[in-house]
């Protein structure tokens, strides 16, 4: 008996599943690489190969709703391999779309921008769907030669859109027609709120970028008006000749070096580590430093004590140690907290410095001793 088109598609799928699985594995590496080359950071990248049961379900649903057989051969299904890129911000979706256009061959007849086609309450499905294939230049490479003219889908959406779709799917109401009217209205209200949140997050990022670009000028013109935050502290640390001088003196005296590399942001002793930034901000807050001007004045006032305390603190650390840029700020905070006798503030300082409560007495005995040493030395040099 002659096989119908559905059976032929399924038979072809079983013969080609190895090819599609290999393509999926290649895309696991290729898509992150392309985004990295374009300096794009995303929340997640997921790849998958459509299962046989999912393939059969898609074919049957197509016949049920369109009353025609759209899939006469396997190549008519353009999403057997799929890539889902989930961005942090909604405006990154368009940026990634431009990258996809330059990196792949787009099948425009089968690609769709659902943001322009779906109803307002379909927020979770407002994503870009590109049907693509690898460009000729890449297919000339041995590892990609098997995939010439093989189409796959790249879906791009924001993390909020993704969360909506996942929750809605989990509730079992992916189809609008299956939702009671009273629930539809609630979905619609939530969709409007989440779309607003998505836009606001993107706007906040733009404003933060603008602030970071302008904060250096503000530090120079009106330092008393510049509050202490990550952007202002980073700018001050990078540009202050006082910080540079102190950091280098501390490192040289300890027979070490200042590590200014930004490549490995996970290094424990690197000042660009996010956790270290937050610790420094908290320490300055506890010590009462609330503006760049107050910080600069404190650096000037305690310049010699910072150097002397660092000598005492690092005397048994060994040679060749790397010091983070801005390490002088840490020793400034040590001096300031040594002058504060409030046990509650000292306990808070210890906590944000990642010491346990059990180390309270040991830490502050050592600190108070180093402080007295620095104080005597600075008076002798005055």
Residue 217 parent element (H or E): helix 181-221
pLDDT digits (tens, 9 = 90+) for 192-219: 788 888 889 999 999 988 988 899 899 9
CB 87 within 8 A of CB 157: yes
My answer on whether 282 and 160 are in the same domain is no
Residue 176 maps to which CATH number?
Answer: 3.30.460.10
Residue 83 domain-assigned? yes
- pLDDT value of residue 13: 92
**Same domain for 312 and 358:** yes
N residues, the chain: 382
Write down the pLDDT at residue 18. Answer: 95
Indicate whether 241 and 128 sit together in one domain.
no
72: three-class secondary structure by DSSP: coil
pLDDT tens digits, one per residue of 51-79: 999 988 888 877 666 556 678 888 888 99
Domain check: are 41 and 106 in the same one? yes
Using one digit for the tens of pLDDT, what is the confidence trace for 129-175?
999 999 999 999 999 999 999 999 999 999 988 888 777 766 665 55
Total domains, the chain: 2
Residue 290 covered by a domain:
yes
If asked whether residues 10 and 116 sit together in one domain, one would say yes
Same domain, 148 and 235: no
Give domain status of residue 120, yes or no: yes
Question: Are 235 and 151 members of one domain?
Answer: no
Rounded CA-CA distance 253/250 in Å is 5
Comparing C-alpha atoms, which of 254, 264, 262 is closest to residue 312?
Answer: 254
Do 132 and 167 belong to one domain? yes
Residue 107 φ/ψ, nearest 5 degrees: -90, 90
32 shares its domain with 163? yes
Give SS3 for 272.
coil
Q: Considering the domain boundaries, does residue 217 fall inside one?
A: no
147 within domain boundaries: yes
State how far the Cα of 24 lies from the Cα of 36, in Å rounded to an integer: 19
- 269: containing domain: 223-381
Identify the pLDDT of residue 114: 63
The residue out of 153, 181, 197 marking a domain boundary is 197
Last residue of a domain, one of 180, 197, 214: 197
- List pLDDT tens digits, range 318-370: 778 888 888 999 999 999 999 998 999 999 999 988 888 788 899 999 999 99
Is residue 86 located within the same domain as residue 192?
yes
Q: Is residue 208 part of a domain?
A: no
Kindly report which listed range (19-33, 95-109, 160-174) carries the lowest average pLDDT score. Answer: 160-174
Decide if 205 is inside a domain: no
Same domain, 238 and 192: no
Looking at the structure, tell me whether residues 276 and 187 fall in a common domain: no
Which distant-in-sequence residues (6+ apart) come within 8 Å of 255 by Cβ? 319, 320, 321
**Assigned domain for 203 exists:** no
């Amino acid at each position: 008996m002659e096989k119908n088109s559905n059976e032929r598609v399924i038979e072809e799928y079983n013969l080609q599943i190895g090819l599609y699985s290999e393509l999926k594995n290649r895309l696991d590496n290729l898509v992150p690489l392309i985004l990295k080359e374009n300096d794009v950071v995303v929340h997640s990248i997921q790849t998958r190969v459509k299962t046989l049961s999912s393939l059969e379900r898609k074919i049957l649903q197509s016949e049920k709703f369109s009353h025609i057989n759209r899939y006469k051969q396997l190549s008519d299904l353009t999403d057997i391999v799929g890539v889902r890129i989930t961005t942090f911000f909604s405006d990154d979706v368009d940026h990634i779309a431009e990258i996809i256009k330059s990196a792949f061959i787009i099948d425009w007849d089968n690609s769709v921008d659902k943001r322009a086609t779906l109803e307002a309450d379909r927020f979770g499905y407002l994503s870009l769907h590109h049907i693509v294939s690898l460009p000729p230049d890449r297919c000339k490479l041995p590892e990609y030669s098997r995939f010439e003219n093989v189409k796959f889908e790249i879906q791009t959406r924001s993390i909020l859109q993704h969360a909506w779709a996942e929750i809605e799917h989990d509730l079992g109401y992916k189809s609008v027609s299956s939702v009671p009217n009273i629930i539809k209205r609630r979905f619609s209200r939530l969709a409007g709120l989440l779309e607003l949140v998505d836009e606001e997050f993107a706007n906040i990022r733009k404003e933060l970028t603008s602030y970071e670009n302008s904060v250096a000028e503000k530090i120079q013109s009106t330092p008393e008006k510049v509050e202490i935050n990550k952007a202002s502290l980073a700018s001050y640390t990078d540009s202050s000749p006082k910080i540079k001088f102190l950091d280098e003196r501390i490192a040289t005296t300890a027979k070490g070096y200042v590590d200014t590399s930004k490549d490995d942001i996970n290094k424990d002793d690197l000042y660009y580590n996010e956790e270290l930034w937050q610790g420094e901000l908290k320490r300055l807050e506890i010590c009462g430093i609330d503006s760049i001007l107050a910080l600069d004045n404190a650096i000037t006032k305690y310049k010699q004590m910072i150097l002397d305390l660092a000598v005492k603190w690092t005397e048994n650390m060994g040679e060749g140690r790397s010091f983070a840029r801005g390490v002088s700020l840490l020793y400034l905070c040590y001096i300031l907290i040594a002058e504060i006798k409030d046990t509650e503030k000292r306990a808070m300082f210890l906590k944000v410095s990642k010491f346990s409560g059990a180390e309270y007495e040991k830490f502050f005995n050592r600190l108070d001793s180093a402080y007295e040493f620095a104080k005597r030395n600075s008076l002798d040099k005055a």
